[in-house]
Structure 1
Amino acid sequence: MSLALCSFLLLVLIFTLRADEAATDAENNHVKGIIGAIVDNTSRVGKEQIVAMEMAVEDFNIGSNQSLLLHIRTSKREPVHAVLAARDLINSQEVEAILGPQTWEETSLVAEIASHDQIPVLSFADATPNWAAEKWPFLLEASPNQYAQMKAIAAIVQSWEWHQVTVIYEDVGSSATGIIPHLSDALREVGAQISHVLALPPFIINSSRLITKELQKLTSSPCRVFVVHLPLPLAEHLFEKAKKMKMMQKDYIWITTDSFTSLVHSVNGATISSLMQGIIGVRSYIPEDNPQFQDFSKRFHKRFGSEYPEESNHEPGAFAVQAYDAVRSVASAMRESNKKGNNQTLLQSILLSDFFGLTGKVQFINQKVAPARIYQIINLVGRSYRELGFWTNGSDFSETIDNPATYNLSLKDLGQVVWPGAPLYTPKGWTEAATSEEPLRIGVPVGSEFKEYVRVAYDELRNVSDFDGFSIQLFKVTVELLPFHLPYEFLPFNGSYDDLVKQIYLKKFDAVVGDEAIVTKRCKHADFTHPYTESGLVMIVPLQKSSNKALLFMKPFTKAMWILTVIVSIYNGFVVWLIERNHGHELTGSAFQQTGTFLWLSFSSLFSLHGERLHSNLSRMTMVVWLFVALIISQTYTANLTSMLTVQGLEPTLDNIESLQNSNAIVGYSNASFVASYLIDVLKFKERNLRGYTSLQDYVKDLKSREIGAIFLEVAVAKIFLARHCKSFTTAGPTYKVGGFGFAFPKGSPLLPSVIEALLKVSESGKLRELETSMITAEKCIEVDLDDDISSLSPSSFWVLFVLTGATSTVALVIYAGHRRNWEFHQNLLVNRSIRTLILTVLKYWGHSKQRFSVKVCHSDSLPISQNLAEAVTVTPSSLSIETVVA
């Protein structure tokens, strides 16, 4: 009996120990975490966050058999209420983590309190400064960084080439220190800028007069692109006032950020229809085709409708899914930290979160949830909205997010946008009607030495300054081509060009227009457009008489011209000699003698006709045409040689900069330009050998008197100087590459890309050339310009004359050859036939021709022939003469 009792007690002890062990294991795997939340339960955002966080805790407890607790406190967006709520959650409820609040003002105070107790805070504020993570290590950002959203807005602005926007935002710290800088940076990257900002106080809803006054200021500005970053209630109030002030009509563009657009589903359809037509909105992308989200959306819709029946729409928005994923991050971290004990803190576990939530992949980078990459673009139309497409960071716009082929598009490629007022055109983003905008302050140099570029004259009667010149007119033409209205005013500045550009850095001028050169030290204070004049620096020296003319007589003609002239002369001389050689004894003789004769005849014909010595009409015709051609060629040669003698009669006093430096001569430069530092630092001139000038007359006087050896001017103004003094000075040495003239703007100015583009249009359209012709190159020297290059003449200038004389000589040669063959025929008759047959043939030919001709007979036995011919003569007219020559 005792044995059985002992066995029973032993079994009971074993089961008890196993039960205790199982209870201990369950206790170790069971999480009893407490999470706190601070929200604004009076706003739509707060209501969605409350329902979403409660659902997240319930889903986690059911799915993991846990018992997390959620304590929610309201702040009503009051920083003081947020502080009290945080104290209560930490001290009374002993929470291990806090979610919220929604604004940075509340978050900063809560983070200060929680950090002392090492309680992680997951903030829902739309912007958190970078320095906050260092000051409060337990502060985490649970909402995506807004910089990507600002880049999406900038991409919209770029799609329609708008260049200025007005930002309307709630005057809270998170917007002023976060959203505005992000938007400004993003706009600058696409060549746009923020022209105006309107900060509305959070409680302006009860002050209609104030908001009307602020909007009235905007109507006087030419900018018509408005970016609205306001919470839902304030945005609705703004659009109501804008509607009454006719700012929701055509030519106005309204773009809303996520703070409003992600809640547009909750706006009453009648309100959208009457107040918000044509608005373009950017909102966080939610993968609605995800089964997890579809399940969440159905449950949320039912629960939200039962808890907040006063709301007209029960769909979840981006703020709801962000709150749901934030709770999951904390809950999962609590479970992990509970398993590992003291090896890892709750904060570290949260930072290691890595899962796919309702918003996509959830991770923390540098104490911030990974930034959103995709935003959805919508257009408010009718009583709701329609989806235009998506914007992805790095891939621009697309019709869908699952088809890469549709990426890298412009928003205007995604379909027709309905603009406010429903115009058939896309608004240009600005209007010229408004004139009260503060104009751009543009500095203009007063002391420009070359008035062709900048001329400033003071009108005492009107007490104003008149501005003219090439640079001024070019800027005016450029501004006309800008895609937006840019008011400006010119202001005179009396000082050096370096000081003038520095005024931009000092914010006394908004730009500088004039003949200021683009050089490195000026780029430290301003950014420049590309040069609108030829760049370079040249040395100008006096001219002196030239002594090198040895082979100048050959220069009027090219080598080809000289060779062709000789060939044609020899050819014409040969033709004349061949035709005339049987008519004069001076053209006969030995081969050497005849060669010299026809060469003499060839070149002497260049200067005289020899008409009295020529016996054939063919040779006379050849000689007349050649003499006509020779006369034109010789006169042209004389004229070209005269021009070259005029120009070549002068030469520069110095050939290069080395000669100038070795001579230790004084070098002149403009006091207003950058040239002095360039001569010292780059060209290594001694400072004591430099002399600054402020007057062109002083340049001329000292150069002519040889008091200075040379002056250095920029190419753009050197052309004007040489045009005025073309016979006294010239350039020498190389052209040193330095920047030309350009317009200056502040560093990073968003206006600069637009001005550069407009300046290129002026250049490509030919307008720049027209201005140069009318205002710069109009001043020409009436004497021979030293810069002209009198070139040698080639055969292409005389080919018609050469063809004429060559053809004439060839025709004469062909005719002569034909007559020569006919004479040889008659000679054969005299030799081979009998004398009587010959006489009869001659008489018969004479009878038909009715012309006088003579017959010359060459025979070794001349006597019988002469007797027979003499008999023939007695019966023929005297027109037939017979001459007998003894061979």
Structure 2
Amino acid sequence: MHMGKGSWKVGRANVANVVLSNEVDNSGFKIGVILDYKSRIGKEEITAMNMAIQDFYEYANNKPVLHIRDSGQDPVRITFSETKSGCYLMINDMIYILKNANLNAAIDLINETKVGVILGFRMCDDVAFVAELGRRANVPVLSFADTTSLGSSKRWPFLIQASPDQYKQMRAVASIIGTWEWRKVNIIYEDVSSARSGIFPHLIDALQEMGSHVEHFLPLPSLNLSLTEELENLKGEQCRVFIVHTSLPMANNLFKEAKKVGLMEKDSVWIITNGVTDHVDFANGSVISTMQGIIGVRTYFPQSTAKFIKFKSRFQHNFHQEYPKEVNTEPGIFALQAYDAVWMVALAMNKNVKATGETIDPEKSVSPLYGKGLLEEILSSRYVGLTGEFRFIEGALIPSRIFRVVNVIGKSYRELGYWSEGQGFSKSLTGATNISMKILGQVLWPGGPWSVPRGWAVPTSENPLTIGVPYNPISDRFFERFIYVGYGPGGKPSVTGYSIDVFSAVLGQMAYNIPYNFVPYNDTYDSLVEQVYSKKFDAAVGDIAIVAHRHKHVEFSHPWSDSGIQMMLFRKPIKSNRAWLFLEPFSKVMWSLTVAITIYNGVLVSLMERKNRPEFTDSASNNIGAAIWSAFATLFSLQGERLHTNFSRMTMVVWLFVAIVIIQSYTANLASILTIPHIPQKDITVEYLMTSNAKVGCDGRSFVVNYLQILGFKKENIVKYYSKSKYPPALRKGEISAAFLEVPYIRLLMAKYCKDFYVVGETFKVGGFGFVFPKGSPMVPDITQAVLEVQESGKLRDLEIALLKSSNCSDSDSDSNPYSLGFNSFWGLFLISFGTTTIAFVLHLLQCPKSSKGSVHASLEDDDTNIQAAIELVEDVPNNNPNILLAHECHEIVPYVAAIIEDDEHNHGDINTQVLHTVI
């Protein structure tokens, strides 16, 4: 038999078809139905469809005929070599050998019964081949399965999804997760294509919006391990939040095994989707007993409308008559969907016949024009049925936007409330809404407790956390105060330090105990973070900075240290020409002008006061010396010689003001030079370091290397150090101009070397130090809370003070402040003073031998004359009236006379002494 490309041919052998119709089909409205007779869903669908046919007949006086076939067992596909008989299907030159009741029934309905449309198919695997049959035969196929993943609207235009798309349900599940802030979830699903590629992408996106992510996917049934082994593996993980997206029979088996392995106890969370919850109404007691404490998302349909109440009453009556052994006669969502689908198809058939005017001959095949017209009528229909609005968009029924939230308790379940898209949770559809599920009230969780489960297993002594710590074997002892790794005789690591003290304080603040083991890791900090990301470590503790490129892959706790990067410089002492620093406050021109104006003012004032100054003699050298002395004495003392003329007083008033300004300016400028580090501004800016190609240092294992390149430093100008004790000698020797370190390191260095180094410039903000955990770790919120409590309690401050106290600034290599005032600052002045005094004394000694003889006689004669004048003056006092001038003259002469007497006491003896006493 030749089959051309694109053609299809159906052969049939040993096909058993069951026709559930006692009527002779004389109608052109033939509706094919394929369902499972034995299942509760199939029973509800048969009853509801028959009710829809009867109601439509009363509505339109036209009664379509249902041709119902049994879907039988689950589909099994076998290869052509495995069978010699059965059905085969040619699709795109590929032969598929079929041994499947659904496909056999579909072929019979299309080829033999000539139905205009086919309904049914709850299993997605059945839909693909039947949809291909419908496309070839121009027969619309309405599927109750979730066929989103099949790309039905483009690949199979005659395939229509007659059940609402459930991807909105995933947002409801994610909202439950977000309410209780569970960061990790496990997804257990039935291994069908729709669940894998249709529903879960929506769930993953919704979970990410809530800050959660999927830890594990567990397909059922698994071909690798048994269900018990798979659950044991999940038990070994930390996550205890499970989302179950399976059928009820599969879920029942799952919950039984989960209870055996201990996954249905305290701190576990189980959330089921409508694939299970929509069947709970007719589940038996043994099934319900395995589901205690489970939260479920259930398909919503209005139950208070008059239409539903009437339908429910009739359905219960009909269902009980047809299936008297069924205890529960309540209609479920499947009955309502079947009723609405049949009513809508019948309505579309009726409209299509009227629109096309085509008369259908039951003995002939349905024409392609009829099939395409019927498809368009179905897709364009708008109908408000028992499930709500019945309308199609892109070949699928509009998605549900409202879901019911239930909690399995006792022998049944309890309605908690509703979830609505865009509104959140509410106790009733007309009540207040909230994005948090807490508005729904108390929930009974697995294991019996009323408190909210943690959602993850606390590490035990049998399964402690593996925590990586940074280890640098060439690190210096000084900075090992942050974290130090030592090894005992048995090779067991011992980890101590400031970081470990903070971590211990944080764990002590938590409400539960966390066993852990430290594992030293000798590599870069980025590499250590990657080990946490790849889950080789459960966490990482140490002086690990929080930066953006790390935070993309892992989660950090709240920072437990101050954040930022600072620049540290060496305090260079001023050594060159230090002895002559006293000259630096004034420039050379200023010094010259000061000396010149001082001498000029002194000479002129001396000339104006010459007649009233006894120190001015006929000797020119003495007069010049007296003038200069008077000038400089005025400069350094505000109380100068007594002035007798108004002109000299006027000159000195101005000069004294100038002298005050000069002296105060000199003092202030000299003080700043001697006490403040004299460092040019360009040496302490980042911009200058970059433009001058200066070498800068940083930790070669940290993120600072890349950060400096981002700032603009050339790679060749960045010197990497792997021991932080290298910075002080490197800065002193000039190997680097500046060191860039994180704030905690800077503080520790400054605590030891505060006299040698200083911090300048801005603080470049980074995240500070934090503890590292995998993305979505459930421990992060608790750890962060504990860090905040440790900070607020003052414990963290106490640990930091203890760390800095261990490094005393007195231990600095510098014995004294290089800018303190000592001998080195003034030895130049001392040298000038000593030299001047020495030279003057030597000159005096050289001059004395030449004039000693003549000067003695001259001095004696001068002394006699002065004494006689003094005696006469004293003798005249009683005979004259005292006045101020006489007193002043006596005051001036007496010291002079006393000096002469002391100098030549042996020549004047008693007479001079008497005169002196008399005068005094």
Kept after mapping to 1: 8 A contact 2:470/2:521: yes
Structure 2 residue identity aligned to 1:302:
H
Cα deviations by residue, 1:477-520 (Å, 9 ceiling, x for unpaired): 65777899987765544333444445566666665544343445
Residue 316 of structure 2 is aligned to residue 301 of structure 1: yes
What's the offset of the Cα at 1:97?
3.1
Structure 2 residue identity aligned to 1:679:
L
Kept after mapping to 2: 8 A contact 1:103/1:174: no
Name the CA distance, whole Å, in 2 between partners of 1:729 and 1:712: 13
Cα deviations by residue, 1:841-873 (Å, 9 ceiling, x for unpaired): xxxxxxxxxxxxxxxxxxxxxxxxxxxxxxxxx
Residue 308 of structure 2 is aligned to residue 282 of structure 1: no
Name the CA distance, whole Å, in 1 between partners of 2:321 and 2:788: 63
Cα deviations by residue, 1:60-88 (Å, 9 ceiling, x for unpaired): 34322334333333334523423333333
Distance 1:486 1:305, change over 3 A: farther
Distance 1:175 1:734, change over 3 A: same
Q: How many aligned residue pairs are there? A: 663
Distance 1:734 1:281, change over 3 A: closer
1:120 match? 140
2:685 match? 656
SS in 2 for 1:544: coil
2:38 match? 42
What's the offset of the Cα at 1:374?
1.6
1:676 match? 705
Cα deviations by residue, 1:30-82 (Å, 9 ceiling, x for unpaired): 98343333323332223222322333333334322334333333334523423
1:313 match? 328
2:753 match? 725
Which of 366, 370, 388 is matched with 2:416 structurally? 388
Name the CA distance, whole Å, in 1 between partners of 2:765 and 2:198: 44
1:401 match? 429
What's the offset of the Cα at 1:316?
0.9
Matches within 5 A, 1:702-721: 702-721=730-749
What's the offset of the Cα at 1:214?
5.2
What's the offset of the Cα at 1:703?
1.0
Distance 1:700 1:76, change over 3 A: farther
Matches within 5 A, 1:327-338: 327-338=342-353
2:274 match? 258
SS in 1 for 2:768: coil
Name the CA distance, whole Å, in 1 between partners of 2:262 and 2:803: 47
Structure 2 residue identity aligned to 1:675:
V
The farther-off stretch of 469-478 and 86-95 is 469-478
Cα deviations by residue, 1:245-266 (Å, 9 ceiling, x for unpaired): 7766666554332122222221
Distance 1:650 1:148, change over 3 A: same
Structure 2 unmatched ranges of 5 or more:
1-25, 77-99, 357-368, 583-670, 815-920
TM-score, scaled to structure 1: 0.64
TM-score, scaled to structure 2: 0.62
Kept after mapping to 2: 8 A contact 1:278/1:421: yes
Structure 2 residue identity aligned to 1:286:
F
Cα deviations by residue, 1:446-492 (Å, 9 ceiling, x for unpaired): 47778458536263644454444444555566577789998776554
SS in 2 for 1:144: coil
2:769 match? 741
Which of 291, 314, 317 is matched with 2:306 structurally? 291
Kept after mapping to 2: 8 A contact 1:168/1:197: yes
Matches within 5 A, 1:114-153: 114-126=134-146, 128-129=148-149, 131=151, 133-153=153-173
Distance 1:333 1:456, change over 3 A: farther
What's the offset of the Cα at 1:373?
1.7
What's the offset of the Cα at 1:326?
2.8
Structure 2 residue identity aligned to 1:678:
Y
Distance 1:457 1:120, change over 3 A: farther
Distance 1:530 1:266, change over 3 A: same
Which of 43, 68, 75 is matched with 1:72 structurally? 68
Name the CA distance, whole Å, in 2 between partners of 1:242 and 1:520: 40
What's the offset of the Cα at 1:401?
0.7
What's the offset of the Cα at 1:700?
1.9
2:621 match? none
What's the offset of the Cα at 1:301?
1.4
The farther-off stretch of 507-516 and 298-307 is 507-516
1:615 match? none
Kept after mapping to 2: 8 A contact 1:191/1:751: no
Cα RMSD, aligned residues only: 4.5
Distance 1:434 1:193, change over 3 A: farther
1:323 match? 338
Name the CA distance, whole Å, in 1 between partners of 2:390 and 2:512: 42
Which of 145, 170, 188 is matched with 2:190 structurally? 170
What's the offset of the Cα at 1:397?
1.8
Distance 1:442 1:108, change over 3 A: farther
Cα deviations by residue, 1:156-188 (Å, 9 ceiling, x for unpaired): 344444445444443434334445554444444
Which of 717, 724, 727 is matched with 1:689 structurally? 717
What's the offset of the Cα at 1:286?
1.7
SS in 2 for 1:129: helix
Which of 224, 238, 250 is matched with 1:234 structurally? 250
Cα deviations by residue, 1:504-563 (Å, 9 ceiling, x for unpaired): 66666665544343445445555655544333322211102369999xxxxxxxxxxxxx
Distance 1:785 1:237, change over 3 A: same
Which of 405, 409, 420 is matched with 1:377 structurally? 405
What's the offset of the Cα at 1:705?
1.0
Distance 1:278 1:538, change over 3 A: closer
Name the CA distance, whole Å, in 2 between partners of 1:138 and 1:725: 82
What's the offset of the Cα at 1:356?
1.5
Kept after mapping to 1: 8 A contact 2:167/2:203: yes
Cα deviations by residue, 1:811-867 (Å, 9 ceiling, x for unpaired): xxxxxxxxxxxxxxxxxxxxxxxxxxxxxxxxxxxxxxxxxxxxxxxxxxxxxxxxx
What's the offset of the Cα at 1:692?
1.9
Distance 1:390 1:520, change over 3 A: closer
Name the CA distance, whole Å, in 1 between partners of 2:467 and 2:132: 46
Residue 155 of structure 2 is aligned to residue 155 of structure 1: no
Structure 1 residue identity aligned to 2:709:
I
Larger radius of gyration: 2
Residue 110 of structure 2 is aligned to residue 84 of structure 1: no
Kept after mapping to 1: 8 A contact 2:470/2:523: no
The farther-off stretch of 426-435 and 141-150 is 426-435
